Amino acid sequence: MNFRVKAIILDRDGIRRALTRIAHEIIERNKGVDNAVLIGIRRRGVPLALRLAEKIKQIEGCTVPVGFLDITLYRDDLTQLGYHAKLSRTEVPFPVTDRTVILVDDVLYTGRTVRAAMDAIMDLGRPKAIQLASLVDRGHRELPIRADYVGKNVPTSSREIISVQVEEIDGQDQVLILEKTE
Amino acid sequence: MRLIIRGGTVVDPVRGRMYPSDILIDGERVAAVEKRVQARGARVLDAKGKLVLPGLFDMHVHLREPGQEYKETVATGTKAAMRGGFTAVAAMPNTAPVTDTPEVIRYVLEKARDAGYARVYPVGAITRGSRGDELSEMGALREAGAVAYSDDGRPVVSAAVMRRAMEYARMLGVPVISHCEDLTLAGGGVMHEGFTSTRLGLRGIPAAAEEVMVARDIILAELTGCHLHIAHVSTAGAVRLIREAKARGVRVTAEVTPHHFTLTEQAVEGFNTLAKVNPPLRTAADVAALREGLADGTIDVIATDHAPHAAHEKEAEFDAAAFGLVGLETAVGLVFTELVATGVLDIPAVAAKMSLNPARILGLPAGVIEPGAVADLTVIDPEATEIVDPASFASKGKNTPFGGYRLTGLPYATVVGGKVYIRDR
Amino acid sequence: MLTIAGLSRKQRERFFLGGKRLPSKHCLGLAALSAKEINEILENAVPMKQVISRDIKKVPALRGKTVVVLFYEPSTRTRVSFELAAKHLSADTVNVSASTSSVVKGESLVDTARTIKALGADLVVLRHPSAGAPHLLARLIDVPVINAGDGMHEHPTQALLDIFTLRERKGTLKGLKVVIIGDILHSRVARSNIWGLTKLGADVHLVAPPTLLPAGIERAGVTVHHRPEEALVDSDVVMVLRLQRERQRQGLIPGVREYARMYGLNAARLALARPDAVVMHPGPINRGVEIADDVADGSRAVITEQVTNGVAVRMSVLYLLTLGRGA
């Protein structure tokens, strides 16, 4: 299967600006971040959550706890995965009960990942609220879920793929639209 | 009814040679063996490019009748024999009831006559019910047609009983065929004892379980003067013991099966019950020793130990699965592919080990092609190749580990008393 | 062709697996697994252990799946461990044990396999006294089969939990001197451990009288000893096997008392091992026979840890075998 780059949606600076804006929105919406925790959904939600925490620290001068969530065991399509779906550790080394949990992911698509992540969070405790931050919202929701903070809304067709690349994992920062060429 | 086998290469195991010749068969007997025979109105079997051997004789076959007709009958077993190129078989007595009375012998012979395929020579039990204690009526069995005595499938545990049996057999002029296995050493094992059995966690049967008994029976043969024939030799140690005994002049002969000279314990990998057999498949060193024993004459006979079973008896846990495999319809192919093509045996030696020697051991006038001899012949196409397909077997038993094997050198036609059976036609 | 960086696993698999159902994979023994596959199971057991140490010890991974736990031999420990593992993953479990089922009525494994298939099991865990029975079952049904112990052959999940415990304790298996003492001949636990440990680079030593050693075991890349004193020096791990008292009746050992004297792990013998050596036992323990009380209850014993880890490792195996099996 081959892919063609159809468009670059966000470059390095674009990603930086989007995250800065989201950080401001989080602070504004929650009237500060005293009760907030950031939880990145593995894999690319993790560096994004860390960057958001860094930005919030720059703006507010306080440290927001950051956790990482592996939602594989909560997925509804587990049996359709290939043989080697490796699990990662969930690292939420703080209680989530009565906190405002801000889930961070790279792409919001069907909403199923977020559904799984919310279930996973609930099994860790009883948060006061759960909010969702996503770098890209590409539409095509299959569940009644929407993001509280969006970096960029990108209308797509289901033939297309959104490729989010982050320096920590992929060696560079950019968001692309790819198209199957077959 | 006259038949000419035209243009084949006749194999003479007595003189150890091969020569091109026609063979004229008149009724049940060979009428002429000449370069070119003419006979008006005779049917002609074209044997150009093919080998004509004296009828092959498998002296170790389980026909299962009476008592286990769901595995095999005399009819299906003898048909499988013909399809495999055998004109005669010796039927082992572990039937139900055991062939320990003249009635069972007569029953088997009658079934064989009715079937009209390969000839059957029954082997009588050494002991009643093959239980290993009281001797069977060996004289009466002989009169009814038993050609040898054996408790095959089980060893005669008591050395004293074996001694008496040998004394009797010697008097009657019939060999004792010994299934050599010390049951205490075999210890309920299900495969060869070695690294493979260790890895598979299966109980092993050490080579010593066979060798201890071979040694005992050789000593008893020496004591009694009886002709001892060792069935299905599987270990290098057993070959060595037999070689030494022969050198001392002990009346001992021995047979090996195609599966023992072809396969090793590795065939059991993956818990393949089709390779579960007793004695078990051994090591590569044992296979080499068996081939050496065949080549130097220590081992006189190739016999199949044809042991048909129903599918469900093999589709089971390895421990619970039946021992044994069918051999009649793959024997010639395996001998040619594994022994002739590799130079272990030449073709006259094959005729000796599969026809002449078994006949001699059992005191039967067979194994030669000459005017006046019974017209039992096997025509082999040394170039024919097949991929073994158990579904094509005439035997009820499809339990072979050789399914999918490519064999070259196959029976083409089997002639029993002048009647021709052409394979797969 | 473009390398697909920046795609989630889900996206990748949507495109490459295309919703196909993959053939069953089984867990039949460690002899058949590569070091990579063993490590995959161990690594996935880490998050599983996290799950069972939470307040809510349950994830929905195997929701709606039915795990049949089929035991032809009595064993509470292993059965309960598998059941718990399945339940933590939200699977439904059905217990079939030899005493309650048609097994005792002489129904063959082949017939039972057909029943299991008809019942729509998604996974079968089989304990059977015959070596290779799980292989037979795996050939008969297109459902993943986990070997929970077959005759003297293998008990892969026990060895995996042993190895998992060692990895937790020691970090790596590479170069670790592991001494296995006892009835190696009849032990499927020992066999599975031998294959697993050697594949992961451990230096494995066996100690037993010659009558309790299986033929040709040296070929497994292990060192064989007859005296524990000789083997225990500088060892990192001592794995003690259970001695069945019937071995005396079978004539394999002159006596249980003598065995305890010659091979039992006591404090004096354990003192030969490294100061940080750990003591393992697959249970159930014959106190005073293969292991002295003070050693079994001592600080170096990790026997209860083994039990907890057993659940995590079995969850990992259940999880991995469910992948690719379609909805």
- Give DSSP secondary structure letters for B281-321: P--HHHHHHHHHHHHHTSS-EE---B----HHHHSS-TTTS
State the smallest CA–CA distance between residue A99 and chain C in angstroms: 18
Please report which confidence band the pLDDT of residue B259 belongs to, taking 50, 70 and 90 as the band edges.
very high
Partner chains of C (3+ C-beta pairs under 8 Å): A, B
B96 and B9 share a domain? no
Say how far residue B248 (Cα) sits from the centre of its chain.
Answer: 26
CA distances from A84 to B308, B346, B397, C17, C40 (A): 44, 55, 43, 12, 8
- Using a CB-CB cut-off of 8 Å, the residues of chain A touching C8 are 43-44, 106-107
- Using a CB-CB cut-off of 8 Å, the residues of chain C touching A75 are 10, 61
- A7 at the C interface (CB within 8 A)? no
Residue C7 confidence (pLDDT): 47
Whole-angstrom Cα distance, residue B180 to residue B230? Answer: 7
Nearest residue on chain A to C45, alpha-carbon basis = A87
**Per CB distance under 8 Å, which residues of C are interface residues toward A?**
1-2, 4-11, 13, 15-17, 19, 22, 25, 40, 43-44, 46-48, 50-51, 54, 56, 58-62, 65, 89, 316, 319-320, 322-327
B23 and B135 share a domain? no
Q: Is B374 helix (H, G, I), strand (E, B) or coil?
A: strand
B182-237 tens-digit pLDDT:
999 999 999 999 999 999 999 999 999 999 999 999 999 999 999 999 999 999 99
Instruction: Give the angle B63-B67-B70 at the CA atoms, nearest 5°.
Output: 70
In a domain, B242, yes or no: yes
Considering only CB atoms, C136 lies closest to which of B195, B206, B317, namely B317
**Is the preceding peptide bond at B97 cis, omega within 30 degrees of 0?**
yes
Tokens of B111: 């079934």
Whole-angstrom Cα distance, residue A110 to residue B150? Answer: 77
Residue in this structure with the two tokens 């599983």, named with its chain if needed: C48
In a domain, B203, yes or no: yes
Q: Is residue C2 predicted with pLDDT exceeding 80?
A: no
B348 and B222 share a domain? yes
DSSP string of chain A, one letter each residue:
--EEEEEEEE-HHHHHHHHHHHHHHHHHHTTSSTTEEEEEETTTHHHHHHHHHHHHHHHHS-PPPEEEE--GGG-S-GGGS-TT------B--S--TTSEEEEEEEEESSSHHHHHHHHHHHTT---SEEEEEEEEE----SSS---SEEEEE----TTEEEEEE-HHHHSS-EEEEEEE--
Say how far residue A134 (Cα) sits from the centre of its chain.
Answer: 5
Nearest residue on chain C to B318, alpha-carbon basis = C132
Residue C75 confidence (pLDDT): 86
B346-382 tens-digit pLDDT:
999 999 999 999 999 999 988 999 999 999 999 999 9
DSSP string of B206-265, one letter each residue:
-HHHHHHHHHHHHHHHHHH---EEE-S---HHHHHHHHHHHHHT--EEEEE-HHHHH--G
State the smallest CA–CA distance between residue A23 and chain C in angstroms: 23
- B249 at the C interface (CB within 8 A)? no
Whole-angstrom Cα distance, residue B368 to residue B15? Answer: 10
Closest by CA position to A129, among listed A99, A95, A150: A99
In a domain, B33, yes or no: yes
- Using a CB-CB cut-off of 8 Å, the residues of chain B touching C110 are 312, 315-316
Contact yes or no for B9/B25 (Cβ under 8 A): no
What is the pLDDT averaged over residues C29-42? Answer: 95
What is the pLDDT averaged over residues B258-273? Answer: 97
B157 and B299 share a domain? yes
Residue B154, judged by CB atoms within 10 A of its CB (0-12, 13-18, 19+), counts as: middle
Instruction: Give the angle A52-A57-A58 at the CA atoms, nearest 5°.
Output: 100
In a domain, B117, yes or no: yes
Q: Is residue B425 predicted with pLDDT exceeding 70?
A: no
Does the beta-carbon distance from A78 to C22 stay under 8 Å? no
Which of B190, B196, B199, B268 to mutate to probe the C interface, most C CBs <10 Å? B199
Q: Is residue C5 predicted with pLDDT exceeding 50?
A: no
Which residues, in sequence order, are bridge partners of residue A4? A179
CATH code, domain with B289: 3.20.20.140
Considering only CB atoms, C323 lies closest to which of A79, A120, A178, namely A79
Amino acid at C257: R
Backbone φ/ψ region at B123: left (φ over 0), alpha (ψ -120 to 50), beta: beta
Say how far residue A139 (Cα) sits from the centre of its chain.
Answer: 15
Considering only CB atoms, C323 lies closest to which of A82, A166, A178, namely A82
Residue % of chain B over a pLDDT of 90 = 97
Say how far residue A143 (Cα) sits from the centre of its chain.
Answer: 17
Whole-angstrom Cα distance, residue B58 to residue B132? Answer: 25
Partner chains of B (3+ C-beta pairs under 8 Å): C
Please report which confidence band the pLDDT of residue C105 belongs to, taking 50, 70 and 90 as the band edges.
low
B289 and B383 share a domain? no
Whole-angstrom Cα distance, residue A143 to residue A109? Answer: 10
State the smallest CA–CA distance between residue C55 and chain A in angstroms: 8
Does the beta-carbon distance from B194 to C216 stay under 8 Å? yes
- DSSP assignment letter at C182: S
In a domain, B367, yes or no: no
- Which has more pLDDT, A101 or C24? A101
Does the beta-carbon distance from A106 to C327 stay under 8 Å? no
| Residue C176 CB coordination number (10 Å) | 21
Residue A28, judged by CB atoms within 10 A of its CB (0-12, 13-18, 19+), counts as: exposed
In a domain, B149, yes or no: yes
Instruction: Name every residue whose Cβ is closer than 8 Å to that of residue C139 and which is 6 or more positions away in sequence.
Output: none
Does the beta-carbon distance from A82 to C40 stay under 8 Å? no
Residue % of chain C over a pLDDT of 70 = 90
Which residues, in sequence order, are bridge partners of residue B91? B61, B122
C222-243 tens-digit pLDDT:
999 999 999 999 999 999 999 9
Closest by CA position to B314, among listed B390, B263, B404: B390
Whole-angstrom Cα distance, residue B409 to residue B385? Answer: 6
Does the beta-carbon distance from B201 to C153 stay under 8 Å? yes
- Residues 148-177 on A with a CB inside 8 Å of C are 161, 163-166, 170-171, 174-176
In a domain, B368, yes or no: no
Domain count, chain B: 2
State the smallest CA–CA distance between residue C243 and chain A in angstroms: 38
Closest by CA position to C55, among listed B375, A92, A105: A92
B405 and B310 share a domain? no
Q: Is C90 helix (H, G, I), strand (E, B) or coil?
A: coil
- A182 at the C interface (CB within 8 A)? no
Contact yes or no for B213/B184 (Cβ under 8 A): no
Residue C303 confidence (pLDDT): 87
Q: Is residue A67 predicted with pLDDT exceeding 80?
A: yes
Residue A78 confidence (pLDDT): 78
Nearest residue on chain A to C41, alpha-carbon basis = A86
Instruction: Name every residue whose Cβ is closer than 8 Å to that of residue B88 and which is 6 or more positions away in sequence.
Output: B55, B56, B57, B58, B81, B118, B119, B120, B121, B364, B366, B376, B416
Which residues, in sequence order, are bridge partners of residue B52? B10, B379
Tokens of C66: 């039915």
B207 and B238 share a domain? yes
- Using a CB-CB cut-off of 8 Å, the residues of chain C touching A89 are 46-47, 50
Residue in this structure with the two tokens 């090996």, named with its chain if needed: B256
Please report which confidence band the pLDDT of residue B258 belongs to, taking 50, 70 and 90 as the band edges.
very high
Choosing from B361, B383, B413, the residue where a domain stops is: B361
B77 and B141 share a domain? yes
Tokens of C63: 């929701």
In a domain, B253, yes or no: yes
Mean pLDDT, chain A, as a whole number?
A: 93
Out of C12, C21, C63, C77, pick the active-site residue: C77
Closest by CA position to C228, among listed C248, C208, C210: C208
What is the pLDDT averaged over residues C116-141? Answer: 92
Does the beta-carbon distance from A170 to C6 stay under 8 Å? yes
Considering only CB atoms, B270 lies closest to which of C135, C188, C214, namely C135
| Residue C13 CB coordination number (10 Å) | 20
- B121 at the C interface (CB within 8 A)? no
- Which has more pLDDT, C24 or B109? B109
Considering only CB atoms, A123 lies closest to which of C56, C62, C326, namely C56
Q: Which residues of B are catalytically annotated?
A: 305
B64 and B193 share a domain? yes
- Which has more pLDDT, B180 or A180? B180
CATH code, domain with B379: 2.30.40.10
Choosing from B361, B383, B399, the residue where a domain stops is: B361
Q: Could you confirm whether C155 is annotated as catalytic?
A: yes
B248 and B262 share a domain? yes
Tokens of A151: 């970096």
Closest by CA position to C235, among listed C204, C199, C210, C190: C204
**ipTM value:** 0.90
Residue C3 confidence (pLDDT): 37
Residue C4 confidence (pLDDT): 41
3-state secondary structure C251-292: CCCCCHHHHHHHHCECHHHHCCCCCCCEEECCCCCCECCCEC
Residue C278 confidence (pLDDT): 96
Choosing from B361, B393, B412, the residue where a domain stops is: B361
Mean pLDDT, chain C, as a whole number?
A: 89
Does the beta-carbon distance from C130 to B312 stay under 8 Å? no
B165 and B280 share a domain? yes
| Residue A63 CB coordination number (10 Å) | 11
Chain A / chain C CB contacts < 8 angstroms: 113
Please report which confidence band the pLDDT of residue C13 belongs to, taking 50, 70 and 90 as the band edges.
very low
Does the beta-carbon distance from A1 to C15 stay under 8 Å? yes
What is the pLDDT averaged over residues C279-296? Answer: 92
Q: Is residue C264 predicted with pLDDT exceeding 50?
A: yes
Amino acid at C187: S
- Using a CB-CB cut-off of 8 Å, the residues of chain C touching A85 are 9, 13, 323
Q: Is residue B412 predicted with pLDDT exceeding 90?
A: yes
Residue A79 confidence (pLDDT): 73
Whole-angstrom Cα distance, residue A20 to residue A41? Answer: 19
Does the beta-carbon distance from B317 to C128 stay under 8 Å? yes
Does the beta-carbon distance from B200 to C214 stay under 8 Å? no
Residue C320 confidence (pLDDT): 93
Tokens of C32: 């058949």
B158 and B185 share a domain? yes
Which residues, in sequence order, are bridge partners of residue B253? B229
Does the beta-carbon distance from C153 to B200 stay under 8 Å? yes
| Residue B152 CB coordination number (10 Å) | 23
Domain hosting B344: range is 55-361
Whole-angstrom Cα distance, residue C1 to residue C64? Answer: 39
Q: What is the pTM of this model?
A: 0.91
Residue C12 confidence (pLDDT): 45
Does the beta-carbon distance from A82 to C324 stay under 8 Å? yes
Contact yes or no for A104/A48 (Cβ under 8 A): yes
B3-62 tens-digit pLDDT:
999 999 999 999 999 999 999 999 999 999 999 998 889 999 999 999 999 999 999 999
Neighbour order of strands in the sheet with A129-137: A66-69, A36-41, A100-108, A129-137, A149-153
B266-304 tens-digit pLDDT:
999 999 999 999 999 999 999 999 999 999 999 999 999
Residue C239 confidence (pLDDT): 97
Does the beta-carbon distance from A78 to C61 stay under 8 Å? yes
